[in-house]
Structure 1
Amino acid sequence: MTSNLMTFALIALVILVALPIVRSRMNFIDPQEARQLVEEGALLLDVRTPAEFNERHIPGALNIPLQELQARQGELPEQARPIVVYCRSGNRSSQARNYLRSQGFEQVHDLGPLTRWP
């Protein structure tokens, strides 16, 4: 039993140390900066599934699931308008940011997880 507890504690410690490092490498925008951009007119883009969006989302967000982003790209504003993208964990939003930037959208900012919204 003690061995299992020690293993669990070690795994928890590794996760606590690694998580901020992983998130920082994902290039998430500061949540306060994201809010300011949205207040100044940036599009808030939720790339989660419709079910996730319906369960909880940031008011005013547009929901285009990551897997539909290419097909629905025409629903996005002109490329000069900033976009703040988010998802559940930061993985899909990072993929969306990279895709949109490859399509010429220069002002795409990744909030990461919805839970980071201030």
Structure 2
Amino acid sequence: MFKDKLVIISIFLTSNNIFYSVNNTKGEVLFWTSSGSLKLKGSKKTTSMSIPFNLKNIKKFLEALNYSYVFIKIKGFNKNKRYLVKMLKQFFENVILIHEKNSLPHNGCKKPSTRCL
């Protein structure tokens, strides 16, 4: 019963756009949207004003299909990432987990320098 009401929201943040996709537990895409699909152009796609509009669309879709539990995956970097997480907590009441995957390599630990004589 729990799996029937669970949905996975994947959010991919780029420097120019924000992509949202809603999947079921089997991995099938049920709904997707992006800031560009709102007919926003240029730097307006990554502003904090585009985030609530997309989340309202996702919430309407989830209410229509009677999904209640949400698992959220976030990937990428953007200047409005903190604001996005804050808005996700406000829009969705039953958030199971927020999983954040950063894809920025750090090239490992620094090797100690050898002394040259």
TM interval, short-chain normalised: 0.3 to 0.5
Larger proportion of helix: 1
Query: TM-score scaled to structure 2, two decimals?
Result: 0.36
Query: TM-score scaled to structure 1, two decimals?
Result: 0.36
Larger proportion of strand: 2
Larger-gyration structure (1/2):
2
